[in-house]
Amino acid sequence: MFKKVSASKGKIVTIYFEGQPVQTEEGMTVAAAVLDPSHGWSRTSHGGQKRGPYCQMGVCHECLMTIDGIPNQQACLTMVVEGMQVYRQDGAPDFHKENSHE
Amino acid sequence: MSSVWDVIIVGAGPAGMSAAIETARHGLSTLVVDRQNEPGGQIYRSVGSSPMSGKLGSDYAAGLPLVKRFLECGAQFEAGANVWDIAPDRVYYSQQGKSRFVRARQVLLATGAMERPVPLPGWTLPGVMGSGASDVLLKSAGLLPEGPVVLCGNGPLILQAAVHLSHFKVPVAGVLLTGRLGNALRAMKHAAGALARPGYFLHGVSMAAKTLLKQKCVMGVRDVAISENGQGLDVSFATQGGKRKNLSASTVLLHEGVISESRITRLARLRHAWDQTQRYWHVDATVWGQTSAPGLRTAGDTVTVRGAVAARAEGSLVGLDICRELGRLPLADRDREARPFLRTLKRCNALQPFLDEYFAPTPSMLQPHPDAIVCRCEELTAGDLNAVIREGCYSPDGLKAQARPGMGTCQGRICGQAVVEMIADAHGLPLENLPLYTAQPPLFPLRLGELIEMPSPSDLL
Ligand code: FES
């Protein structure tokens, strides 16, 4: 859906989106890194509609995902880190499943 | 890190960086916090590291020396720092899951602007995004949609997006322009001002000419609706003559101009003003960034959307005046050093009425179709909200209490302006009498644990 128009500059890192490895580079936001493997959707609304990052700058909150066990993270403001686990957020976050961030 | 500073600047865009360069140069301890990972703001987004540096024209490249000067100026820069509350002399922010607060003698809010959200049916579908979002992806990640792309909206940035897409050979199915055809005529009375920045003006004209020649443009477009069609997206719209047409796309980029991001200045209960032509609320401030609250300043697009050149000049002026206020710069020196920035600002101000009028939003575009989701967080359509408004709801806060728009995680950033337009239209109220939602802390979702763990600086105990 999106293509690279310029050669990468950053170091290659691997993150996991819905359990699947995704190669990306340092300096990318999670929202940008998973744009293709996620087919552009990052979460579902309360009513179950698919939603995708809309603003890429921290305003709309459509990119909320569960990152390393913490729900409600703005993927467009979070930078990728080697080994990061990224999951789509299904409706409202399930805080009972939240892992500690420590 | 110290918890008390001479100056705290929120936002490392053109205005914030320029202000920091002045205050740090005059020996004031300066802390700059920004949500992004790098300085630059949205216009110079990632310019220091971008794979696209040098490939996006001179306006973008102009950010590089500024970012360099900023990083070397001696101000402390905190990246990934999300400000969630401010109080007199105090700024609270969250960084990597931890919150803290810092204090300062002067606080500058330079949080910039955002694209005006204009709800239409199907704008919540994946594959539809702001044209600014696509611009961010291009600058920060070197990513562009594969196309076909449909661009839809009004404003100079949509022309720029069209030029970028065609430069990188991305297929564009169409550019749907939603501006009013009469705007050009209305703008002519400000034409003399446009010549105050001839270079900028000609650049704009050439972008428009390139777009009109190379792309399939449709002017005066109305009633846009997006739907899924199995392979991708389908954009349906009405032309000026009233005919309905369709275009297929894999990505749709929407843009209806840029408005000040006023949540933080509203949270601070500062005096705001309504911009009649461009239709948005913005904080009211003097040329030195003085707001209605002493010690709390503002600069750049937060005050009025005029773009990066004006924001840089304003930031410098505010920085200089902070130096005067804190005793580092005698008044006469401030005035002397301010001269070139005042000249730049004057030229920008002369051009702005032309742009504002030419790209004035079309009122009918601002009244969403009943099926359009207005509040994306709470999934409320214009139909849902209009029913409550017509029953007798006269203010955004009232509507929020009755029907929940603005109660989700974005806290009304997306639906705020739309709701104001809807209430004004339904009851025939003047927009300047309708303030946006009252802003509440925290400005962003925050874990309760993070609040509890927030340390108090020892000097306050
Ligand atoms: S995409 Fe809008 S907040 Fe992340």
* Joined tokens for residue B331: 């008044």
The answer to whether the CB of B384 falls within 8 A of the CB of B369 is no
Q: What are phi and psi of B195, to 5 degrees?
A: -80, -5
What local confidence, expressed as pLDDT, does residue A101 receive? Answer: 40
Say which CATH architecture domain A12-92 belongs to: Roll (3.10)
Q: Is the pLDDT of residue B381 over 70?
A: yes
pLDDT digits (tens, 9 = 90+) for B323-379: 999 999 999 999 999 999 999 999 999 999 999 999 999 999 999 999 999 999 999
> Pocket of ligand 1, candidates A29, A41, A51, A61: which has the most ligand atoms within 8 Å of its Cβ, to mutate?
A61
> Pocket of ligand 1, candidates A43, A59, A72, A89: which has the most ligand atoms within 8 Å of its Cβ, to mutate?
A59
Per-residue confidence at B279, pLDDT binned at 50, 70, 90?
very high
Q: By 3-state DSSP, what share of chain B in percent is helix, strand and coil, each rounded to 5?
A: 40, 25, 40
How does DSSP assign B338-353, residue by residue? HHHHHHHHHHHHHHHH
Q: How far apart are CA B390 and CA B392, in angstroms?
A: 5
By CB atoms closer than 10 A (0-12, 13-18, 19+), residue B52 is buried
| Cβ pair B127:A27 closer than 8 A | no
So where are chain A's domains? 12-92
Q: How far apart are CA B72 and CA B193, in angstroms?
A: 36
Rounded to a whole number of angstroms, the distance from the CA of B255 to the nearest CA of chain A is 11
Minimal-distance CA residue of chain A relative to B132: A55
pLDDT digits (tens, 9 = 90+) for B295-320: 999 999 999 999 999 999 999 999 99
Of B143, B413, B445, the CB nearest to A59: B413
Q: Is the pLDDT of residue A97 over 80?
A: no
Q: What is the mean pLDDT of residues B277-290?
A: 97
The residue with greater pLDDT, A57 or B50, is: A57
Per-residue confidence at A91, pLDDT binned at 50, 70, 90?
confident
User: What value of ipTM does the predicted structure carry?
Assistant: 0.94
Q: How far apart are the first and last CA of chain B?
A: 17
Q: Is the pLDDT of residue B225 over 80?
A: yes
The residue written with tokens 């902070």 in the block is: B322
The pTM assigned to this predicted structure is: 0.95
> Sign of the C-alpha dihedral, residues B194, B195, B197, B202?
positive
Per-residue confidence at A99, pLDDT binned at 50, 70, 90?
very low
Q: How far apart are CA B355 and CA B320, in angstroms?
A: 29
Using the mean position of ligand 1's atoms as its centre, give its distance from the Cα of residue A79 in Å: 13
Q: How far apart are CA B361 and CA B153, in angstroms?
A: 9
What local confidence, expressed as pLDDT, does residue B447 receive? Answer: 87
Rounded to a whole number of angstroms, the distance from the CA of B76 to the nearest CA of chain A is 20
Q: B126: helix, coil or strand?
A: coil
pLDDT digits (tens, 9 = 90+) for B32-76: 999 999 999 999 998 888 888 778 888 899 999 999 999 999 999
Instruction: Please name the residues in contact with B107: beta carbons below 8 A apart, sequence gap of 6 or more.
Output: B7, B8, B9, B10, B86, B89, B91, B295, B296, B297
Give A60's contacts in chain B (Cβ within 8 Å).
117, 376, 410, 413-414
Q: Of the segments A6-10, A45-49, B255-259, which one has the largest average pLDDT value?
A: B255-259
A61 pocket-lining for ligand 1 (C-beta < 6 Å): yes
Give B376's contacts in chain A (Cβ within 8 Å).
45, 51, 54, 60, 62
pLDDT digits (tens, 9 = 90+) for B175-220: 999 999 899 899 989 988 888 888 888 888 888 888 888 889 999 9
Of A32, A54, A74, the CB nearest to B140: A32
Give the number of the atom of ligand 1 that is nearest the alpha carbon of residue A77: 4
Q: What is the mean pLDDT of residues B115-124?
A: 97
User: Which residues, listed in sequence order, are joined to residue B100 by a DSSP beta bridge?
Assistant: B93
The residue with greater pLDDT, B201 or B2, is: B201
A51 pocket-lining for ligand 1 (C-beta < 6 Å): no
* Joined tokens for residue B416: 């705020």
Q: Which residues of B368-383 are buried (b: 16+ CB within 10 A; e: fewer)?
A: beeebbbbbbbbbbbe
Give A77's contacts in chain B (Cβ within 8 Å).
35-36, 80, 82
Q: Percentage of residues in chain B with pLDDT exceeding 90?
A: 83
A30 pocket-lining for ligand 1 (C-beta < 6 Å): no
* Joined tokens for residue B330: 């005698």
Nearest to B149 by CA among B132, B134, B137, B160: B134
Q: Is the pLDDT of residue A18 over 70?
A: yes
Q: What is the mean pLDDT of residues A20-49?
A: 94
Of B55, B137, B378, the CB nearest to A32: B137
The residue written with tokens 């390393």 in the block is: A68
* Joined tokens for residue B144: 């562009």
